[in-house]
Structure formats: structure tokens, C-alpha cells
Amino acid sequence: MKAVVALTAGGLLWAAACVEPRDATPPLPDARVLRAPDTAGLEPVPVPDLSTMSESVQRGLRERIEKLRESLSSASPPEETLADRYGDVATVLLAARYFSESEQYFLNAHTLTPMDRRWPYYLGHVYRNVGPLDEAARFFEQANQLQPNDSATLIWLGEVYLAQGRHDGAAALFERVTAREPASAAAWFGAGRAALAGGDRAQATAALEESLLREPTATAVHYPLAMAYRGLGDLERAEAHLARQGDVAPRPVDPLMSALGDLLESPEVYSSRGRSALAAGNWPGAADLFDKGLAMAPADPFLRYGFGFALMRMGDAGGAEAAFRRAIQTSPRHVEAYYTLAEVLDGTGRPVEAVATLRLALEYTPGHVAARTKLAGILGRTGAPEEALQEFARTLELAPANAEAAFGYAMNLVRVDRFQAARDALAEAVQSFPDPTPFRLALARLLAAAPDARVRDGRRALEMAEDLLESAPGLALGETLAMALAELGRFADATQVQRDVVAAAQQARLDDTVVRRMTENLSLYEGEQACRRPFGADEMP
């Protein structure tokens, strides 16, 4: 009689056969295989060759394999305990990306405790990586049945559906997540690619832009976004995104997969866990994880960048600056490091250095919309509004839907006293952008108090301000309302509104320069004069 043992390792199929001796002496047990009692209904599992694995993986496996061996040798181990023993070995193998080697361990755990969601979920990831995809879909579907509406499961199942060409099914899954968790960059990433696969390029661009907004460092979003823009005929924006493509994809908040990171120590694991912490807004946790990864790979620019980003979010400007500079030294074309370094420099009162840093970033990636928008904003604030207008115009050529650039462009037209052009730009933006509120407020302010009489229209300004009372109440609107009333000659009403604004600003302890400007406008209305300065310096972007 022949006994055949199949071992899967690195995609190769090993077969070992032994012939039972004629004297019928029982064969010695094979140390390379762990067998459950025949009554358990479990398949034998191969013991992986630890000598080929890293030290951290070996440490993680040795004790777990021995505990499984002990459980299998006991008379009647509890099914839950035995399932956990199989699962313990499998999760270390999965964490180390030994997908095929983990498969049978997970299958045995699933056989023993079929209602434990961990096993079909992890099996979904095994088959997602090594196939077949039908099995990946089947196990993710089982995991979803055991815990319906788990976002991570829905996203990964959607990813499998996309890989299978089932874009309608994928779109429905991603839509369920975005409806419940609109901040999920991973769900928007999936929704955009599903829309692109279905031929809806407009919807694809909207979803993929949303994904980038939620996770700007996810460079993998740029390629499908470029394809969507190319399909719409916008070749310039397509080329801009192609220049920024990479392999960093947004990932869902995923407790089960994150738990695998606790099993091993490697730069890659710390990087992955650090990015998950960043996505969850856990800045100290992210900094700690990136720091641990840097202890193992100090020259890794992506770990260094993540560490700096976390420090920046924690308010440690000096530490963040040092980290970004070192990331750039290691990887001189790391555009995101230039961009965030510029944010730190600008935030610490060094706009000239920030401008120089952003110009370097744009030399490497001219289509980096965020960097160009940031550059334009700093130029406008530091006495170079004409240059700012050029940069904002270039940004809008690359990204016409960029509301920040559209607003900055209009405000810099105000800076150079081109009030008619500013009015027209704001009026167009009111019609073009999904959230027209900031544009409407700025337009009402311009209509109420522009120095150019050809622009002023007090009645229209008052109507717009009153329309905004419910949707955008606040001190800025109060000031706008007072300006419009004064322009119409209703100085007593303007005075009363402005007094309320000044009192609220004082109660809120706003900066003295803001209160002083508000008080100066109050004095104008008390003297029956209209305002001819629509925006204070503190209100300009």
C-alpha cells in the first residue's frame, strides 16, 4: 500500500511515497507532517521548513507548532482548542506571506469551528493572493454571513469581484461602505475602479478623486484616475496623474489583518501597521510603529516619511521637518516629502523656504495639484499675487474641479484690484461647484463693498446674505449682512448687526486685529458711511 503526502511550497508540489515493509511493521511517523486522529475528519498538514524563513518567523512558529503537536497527541482535545492551535500556526504563516503553506491549517480550523469568522476571512485572503478567486469570493461571502456589513470584509469581497470582472457586484458592495463610512479611501478607490470597469468615467473620476482626498499618499489611485480622465478626453490631467502613479493603495481599517502585524517584526509589517494607524487618526501610535520600522531599516524613505507625517499631526514641527529632510536625502524624488516639508515650513513662519521647496517638488512632478495649489496660496499671502494667479490658473487647467484653487484665484483677483473679474469668477464658481457656500459668501461681500462702483449691487448682496442665514450662519455672514445694509443706506440696521458681530468676536476672544477691523467698520456705519473694503487681510486665503 502506498501513502502519498502532498506538500505545497512556493507553488511546487512535492510527493513522497513510502512502501510498507513486508513484515507489516508500522512506519515511523513523518516529522514533516502533523496528522489528526482519523475520527476528527481533518487533513494532514505539512510542517514548514523553518530553516528557509526569517528569524522573526521562526520565533513565531516554533512554539505554535509544538503546541499543535501536543494537542494532536492528546486523547480528545476540545474542538475549539484544536482549532485555535491550527489557526495560531496559520496566522503566522499568513502574516509572513506564506499563503499556500497556511491554507490547510486554516481549512482544518474552519472545519472544527465553522462559526468562527476568522477562518473564512483569512482563507479569503489566502485565495485572494494565490487563487482560485472563486474560492476567495466563497470564503469572504461566508465571513460576511457570519458578521454582516463588516466594512473590511465587504471591501475585500468587492476587490475579488473586481478581479473576477463582476464590476456591478463590486460596485454594490463599495457603495454600501461609502454610504456608511464616507471617509473610507479604500471604499472610494474600489467604487472608482468599479465605475471605470463599467464604463462610467465621470463617476469613476469623482470616486477616485474622493479617495485621493481622503488619503493623499495613496499613489495607486493615480493610474485608474488617469485612465478615467483619458477616457473623458482630458489628456492633460491624465498625464498629470500618470506622472504620480505608484503602488501604495488605500487599505480599509481591518482589525483582523492588523492583528497579524503583532505576530512578526519586519520593516514591511511596521510600515503597513503605521499606515493603518495614520488612516485611523492615531498619530502617536503611527509614530511609534514607523519608529520601530526605522530601527530595522533606517534608510527606508517611506518609513521616514510616515514617521514625519505622524509627528507633524502631533504638532512636533521640528521632528517632522528633520524626518522629511532625511526622507528627501534618501529619495530625492519623494514629492510628497517635499510637499509636507513645505507645509511645516509655511506653518512655522518660513514661507520663502516653503516656496523654494514646492518649486523643487513641481520640477519633479509638474502635475502635483496639491503642491501647485499650496505654492499659489503662499505666493498670494506673501506679496506676489500676480504669480499666485498664474499658479492658480495652471492648477485649474490640471484640475478644474479644485474648489480651493478656484477660490484662491478669485481672491487674488481681488488682491490686484480686478474686482469685475473677481465678481465674474465667483459667480461662475457658484454655478459650478457642489458646495457653492464659500463662493456665494465671497460674492455677496464683493457686491456689498467693492471699491469699484460697477461691481457693487447692494440689493443683490442683501438677498444673497439673507439666503445664507440658515446654511452658513456666523460672524463672516454677519459682517456681510451689515455691509449690504450699509450699501443700501440702512445704516441703523447695519450698525446694530455690526455691534452684535463685534460683541460675539470679543466674547469668542478672537485676535485683536480681527476685532479692530470689525470695530472700524462699526464706526463707519455709525457715521453713516458704507464700507469699501470687502475683505480684511485676515480673511484672505
Cβ-count burial 411-446 (b if 16+ within 10 Å, e if not): bbbbbeebbebbbebbbebbeebeebebbbbbbbbb
Q: Residue 161's pLDDT band (boundaries 50, 70, 90)?
A: very high
* Angle 242-243-244 from CA coordinates, rounded to 5°: 90
Nearest one of 256, 261, 263 to 271, comparing CA atoms: 261
Residue-wise pLDDT for 112-157, tens only, equals 999 999 999 999 999 998 889 999 999 999 999 999 989 999 999 9
Higher pLDDT: 67 or 279? It is 67
Higher pLDDT: 274 or 527? It is 527
Is residue 246 pLDDT above 90, yes or no? no
- Cβ pair 201, 232 in contact under 8 A: yes
Q: For 18, list phi and psi in degrees, rounded to 5.
A: -130, 145
Q: Residue 270's pLDDT band (boundaries 50, 70, 90)?
A: confident
Cβ-count burial 311-340 (b if 16+ within 10 Å, e if not): bbbeebeebbbbbbbbbbebbeebbbbbbb
- The CATH homologous superfamily to which domain 117-264 belongs is Tetratricopeptide repeat domain (1.25.40.10)
- What is the pTM for the complete model shown? 0.61
CA torsion, points 145, 147, 152, 156, in degrees to nearest 10?
-10
Higher pLDDT: 534 or 40? It is 534
pLDDT of residue 39: 58
Measure the CA–CA gap between 442 and 410, rounded to whole angstroms: 9
Q: What is the mean pLDDT of residues 228-251?
A: 86
Rounded to a whole number of angstroms, the distance between the first and last alpha carbons of the chain is 83
Q: Residue 3's pLDDT band (boundaries 50, 70, 90)?
A: very low
Nearest one of 342, 343, 346, 344 to 359, comparing CA atoms: 342
Measure the CA–CA gap between 322 and 498, rounded to whole angstroms: 46
| Mean pLDDT value across the chain | 88
Q: Where in the chain is the domain with CATH 1.25.40.10?
A: 117-264
Q: Residue 76's pLDDT band (boundaries 50, 70, 90)?
A: confident
pLDDT of residue 10: 33
pLDDT of residue 62: 87
Q: Residue 24's pLDDT band (boundaries 50, 70, 90)?
A: very low
pLDDT of residue 2: 32
Residue-wise pLDDT for 293-337, tens only, equals 898 889 889 899 999 999 999 999 999 999 999 999 998 888 889
* Angle 290-241-179 from CA coordinates, rounded to 5°: 70
Nearest one of 148, 163, 159 to 187, comparing CA atoms: 159
Q: What is the mean pLDDT of residues 421-442?
A: 92
Residue 141, number of CB atoms within 10 A of its CB: 15
- Cβ pair 265, 253 in contact under 8 A: no
State how beta strands 12-19 and 2-9 pair: antiparallel
- Cβ pair 246, 277 in contact under 8 A: no
- What angle do the packed helices 369-381 and 335-347 form, to 10 degrees? 20
pLDDT of residue 40: 65
496's enclosing H/E stretch is: helix 491-507
Measure the CA–CA gap between 522 and 515, rounded to whole angstroms: 10
Residue 83, number of CB atoms within 10 A of its CB: 24
Nearest one of 379, 409, 407 to 394, comparing CA atoms: 409
2's enclosing H/E stretch is: strand 2-9
Exposure of 11 by Cβ count < 10 A (0-12 exposed, 13-18 middle, 19+ buried)?
exposed
Is residue 158 pLDDT above 90, yes or no? yes
Pick the CATH number of 435-541 from 1.10.3470, 3.40.50, 3.60.10, 1.25.40: 1.25.40
Higher pLDDT: 481 or 19? It is 481
Measure the CA–CA gap between 49 and 70, rounded to whole angstroms: 19
pLDDT of residue 31: 53
Residue 8, number of CB atoms within 10 A of its CB: 16
Alpha helices in 315-366, H assignment, sequence order = 317-330, 335-347, 351-364
- Cβ pair 335, 365 in contact under 8 A: yes
Q: Residue 59's pLDDT band (boundaries 50, 70, 90)?
A: confident
Give the single-character DSSP code of 16.
Answer: E
Is residue 285 pLDDT above 90, yes or no? yes
Measure the CA–CA gap between 477 and 492, rounded to whole angstroms: 18
Question: Residue 134 has which C-alpha cell?
Answer: 472563486
Residue 343, number of CB atoms within 10 A of its CB: 19
Measure the CA–CA gap between 215 and 222, rounded to whole angstroms: 12
Phi-psi region of 149 (alpha: psi -120 to 50; beta: other; left: phi over 0): left
